[in-house]
Amino acid sequence: MTEFDYVLGGGIVPGSVTLVGGEPGIGKSTLLLQCAARLEQAGIATLYVSGEESPDQVRLRADRLMVDAGRVHVLGETRLEAVLHHAQALGSRVVFVDSIQTTYTEDLEGAPGNVGQVRDCAARLMRFAKEAGPAVFLVGHVTKGGGIAGPKTLEHIVDTVLYFEGESSLDHRILRAAKNRFGSVDEIGVFEMTGAGLEPVADPAATFLAGRATGVSGSAVTALMEGTRPMLVEIQALAAKTGFGTPQRVATGLDHRRLAVLLAVLERRGGVPFAALDVFVNVTGGVRLLEPSSDLAVTAALLSSVRDRALPADALFLGEVGLGGEVRPVAGVERRLAEAARQGFRRVFLSARSRGSVADLDVVGVDGIGELAHRLAA
């Protein structure tokens, strides 16, 4: 599974323990069951331990998946001692424990899922992996509050931590490495949830722009570096007159404090008032903006919405915005621009101090957001 291998840093490492976290329903079981089926196809003995669903339910799901999952050994078990016993007896080389919250050891008091149980079970599976050599995958449910329930505590125990993210309403799922002893972090893999399970997306860098409506105000495109791969994403802004009371500020996919900063900078340095406007900003495709390089695109989207004037469809925005309204260069410009050019973009707005250019792409250097506002109005 190309995208899975990629996020793992090349593939599954024998003797390693990987935690796969994510909200219920996002597709963790589906991903790992498909993985198990692939391994079986390749002649690698696996054990899929399901404490969440009955083996029959798992089978039903397996039948729905296109892959031949029939050979995967499914065990309905929640007692750790029994899991270890079966894994040993079967000589499993990859063991999937779905989930760590339903697994318990007889050695401890306390219900499955409590912090002591979760931590102890994970530590013993870790020892098992190191001594007996199979790779172990643990499913960990993330609760609404964030952190994998209790198992946030697991991050330092295991070798690798992957988070499976996305919005259940959208088909795209993003697998992100938060820790990886065997590869780099911040790499993401992109999948699509289909009727027949998860499919690695063939061109992840272009996925998030698919279906973008051009000619609409409030939309700007930027290039993010996700690990070592550039990805283009669309940022949508909508500024609308406040009905009553305090104006709303709603940010989806970016930090609301970052949005507040950019609004203040636009107001003070760009002379664009937002005091009487509700502001909504959304990053499409369930992507999260984790780097300030997208500031300029957020700013451009806001300007475009306030003026109700669409940005050029072939323009990319790349830059960090400082409190003085200055536009700063970002890292990895060449790779981002190359990807933008590949996807048909023809001009890029970036810091006048940025170096880097790519054939086929007109570079528009801007010193500050005042200049950006001016150029976009022209």
Q: Which residues bind Mg ion (CB under 5 A)?
A: 29
Opening angle at CA 88, ends 86 and 89, nearest 5: 65
Residue 93 interacts with which of Mg ion, ligand TYD, none, CB < 5 to 8 Å by class: none
Residue 342 interacts with which of ligand TYD, Mg ion, none, CB < 5 to 8 Å by class: none
Provide the minimum distance between the beta carbon of 153 and ligand TYD in the complex, in angstroms, as a whole number. 20
In this structure, the strands spanning 315-318 and 277-283 are unpaired
- Say whether 194 sits in a helix, a strand or coil: strand
**Which of residues 29 and 78 has its CB atom nearest to Mg ion in the complex?**
29
To the nearest 10°, report the CA torsion of 126, 132, 137, 138.
-40
Looking at the chain, list the stretches that DSSP marks H as alpha helix, in order from N- to C-terminal side.
Answer: 2-8, 28-41, 55-64, 80-90, 115-132, 204-207, 256-270, 295-307, 333-342, 369-377
N residues, the chain: 378
Provide the minimum distance between the beta carbon of 175 and ligand TYD in the complex, in angstroms, as a whole number. 12
Provide the minimum distance between the beta carbon of 21 and Mg ion in the complex, in angstroms, as a whole number. 12
Residue number of the CB closest to Mg ion reads 29
Provide the minimum distance between the beta carbon of 22 and ligand TYD in the complex, in angstroms, as a whole number. 5
Residue 218 interacts with which of Mg ion, ligand TYD, none, CB < 5 to 8 Å by class: none
Residue 197 interacts with which of ligand TYD, Mg ion, none, CB < 5 to 8 Å by class: ligand TYD
**Which of residues 34 and 282 has its CB atom nearest to ligand TYD in the complex?**
34
**Which of residues 35 and 287 has its CB atom nearest to Mg ion in the complex?**
35
CA distance 262 to 149: 33
Q: Any idea what DSSP says for residue 181?
A: T
Provide the minimum distance between the beta carbon of 114 and ligand TYD in the complex, in angstroms, as a whole number. 20
Residue 25 interacts with which of Mg ion, ligand TYD, none, CB < 5 to 8 Å by class: ligand TYD
Residue 134 interacts with which of ligand TYD, Mg ion, none, CB < 5 to 8 Å by class: none
Q: Give CA separation, 37 vs 42, 43, 81, 160, 271, in Å.
A: 9, 10, 25, 21, 58
CA distance 65 to 93: 22
Residue 26 interacts with which of Mg ion, ligand TYD, none, CB < 5 to 8 Å by class: ligand TYD
CA distance 166 to 286: 5
Residue 368 interacts with which of Mg ion, ligand TYD, none, CB < 5 to 8 Å by class: none
**Which of residues 121 and 175 has its CB atom nearest to ligand TYD in the complex?**
175
**Which of residues 38 and 328 has its CB atom nearest to ligand TYD in the complex?**
38
Residue pointed to by tokens 């900063």: 261
Radius of gyration from C-alpha coordinates of the chain: 24
Nearest CA to 259 out of 269, 268, 249, 267 is that of: 249
Provide the minimum distance between the beta carbon of 87 and Mg ion in the complex, in angstroms, as a whole number. 19
Provide the minimum distance between the beta carbon of 67 and ligand TYD in the complex, in angstroms, as a whole number. 10
Provide the minimum distance between the beta carbon of 144 and ligand TYD in the complex, in angstroms, as a whole number. 14
**Which of residues 29 and 305 has its CB atom nearest to Mg ion in the complex?**
29
Residue pointed to by tokens 């500020």: 249
**Which of residues 30 and 117 has its CB atom nearest to ligand TYD in the complex?**
30
**Which of residues 196 and 264 has its CB atom nearest to ligand TYD in the complex?**
196
> Are 324 and 303 spatial neighbours (Cβ–Cβ below 8 Å)?
no
**Gap between the terminal Cα atoms of the chain:** 48
Residue 193 interacts with which of ligand TYD, Mg ion, none, CB < 5 to 8 Å by class: ligand TYD
Provide the minimum distance between the beta carbon of 7 and Mg ion in the complex, in angstroms, as a whole number. 19
Binding site for ligand TYD (CB under 6 A): 22, 24-30, 61, 64-65, 193, 195-197
Helix (H) or strand (E) holding 316, with range, is strand 315-318
Structure tokens at 256: 């609301």
Count of Cβ atoms closer than 10 Å to residue 280 Cβ: 17
**Which of residues 29 and 222 has its CB atom nearest to Mg ion in the complex?**
29
